[in-house]
Amino acid sequence: MHLVRLPKRKKSNPQELAQQKEPDPFIYVIPKECGRIDLPTFISDSLYINYENYLNGLDCHKPSSIGLASNELSKLISNSDTSKVDSLFYIFSKYYDLVTDSLNSVLEYDTTDYTPFVITSEQRKAAEKALNFYNELRKNGFDFNYPEGIIEIGQDRDFISKFYNKLSKNMIEYLDQVNYENKNWFQNDAAIMITEQDFFDRLLWWEKFNNSNPSFLFAKDAQYTQKYYLYFLLHGMDNTFPFMDVGDKLIEYFKNLYELAEKYPAETDCIKIIRTQYEMIKRSEMKDSEERQEFLKELQRENKTLSFN
């Protein structure tokens, strides 16, 4: 899923990188074997199994594998019953995630200077080999990200919109939301980057979608996303914390966020949880309390939010 941060890579130093010999980006250092995608037990048709086997036979360390996977998917869905298209796309999507992870594992060993693609203010020209690799990424549904001064390979999910005319309405709704959130980062460097309203709307969007689509193919991912947002809405994160120090009052950002739930006309499960916590904060004169901390632990025990312990 787009919300999980990949393993960190050493921060790029443009001056050091410029002095290093650039390896051919098409000669890959393979740090580990390719992973495999495994079909859920409910996907047992030979059509799906054959596509899975095709994908598992590609080189997951090369961006071009997604181009090949995409071309094969286009052939399959053009000749398949519409009821099977979502499942075929589900298999493709899992492989897309696998290749993204594999490309980043290769990137950890790559000393090529890719900073011209993420630090545009320096107006430095990329080397031809770096440009070739970048073009290969862009052609196959990827792009560079630069969180916390660390270059990563991320998904450009506009790439998959070409399949929309064959997918179900629910699948398109899900993919559009994922694409929106992929382009509008929730956090960077352990700091929340979105407005209170956007944060609140995202959580409720996922809750509503999950309640309406309990048997959705990506239900596990969608439920994880809901728990992810609820966790950080309640706990905050290192550089956007509800209470900056012990004894401090609730900061304005979280006060605004929790008051959105106070004004919300319906009482969904998430709204009820936010309101309950906010009542505890108000009882402790807008400060943290042992009561609140125990409440948060109980939510984790009940699997209503994530647990990072």
Tokens at 204, concatenated:
């409720």
| Residue ranges with strand state E in 183-223 | 187-188, 191-192
CB 105 within 8 A of CB 31: yes
User: How much is the average pLDDT of 243-263?
Assistant: 93
- 236: confidence class by pLDDT, cuts 50, 70, 90: very high
The full set of domain ranges for the chain reads: 1-167, 184-309
pLDDT of residue 43: 67
Handedness of CA 171, 174, 179, 182 (dihedral sign): negative
**Residue 177 near residue 101 (C-beta atoms within 8 A):** no
pTM of the model: 0.86
Per-residue b or e along 233-272, where b marks 16 or more CB atoms closer than 10 Å to that residue's CB: bbebeeebbbbeeeeeebbebbeebbebbeeeeeeeebbe
Query: Residue 190 in contact with residue 237, Cβ under 8 Å?
Result: yes
Mean pLDDT, range 41-66, rounded to an integer: 89
135 burial type by CB count under 10 A (0-12 exposed, 13-18 middle, 19+ buried): exposed
- List the single range of 4-13, 93-102, 297-306 with lowest mean pLDDT: 4-13
Residue 11 binned pLDDT confidence (cut-offs 50, 70, 90):
very low
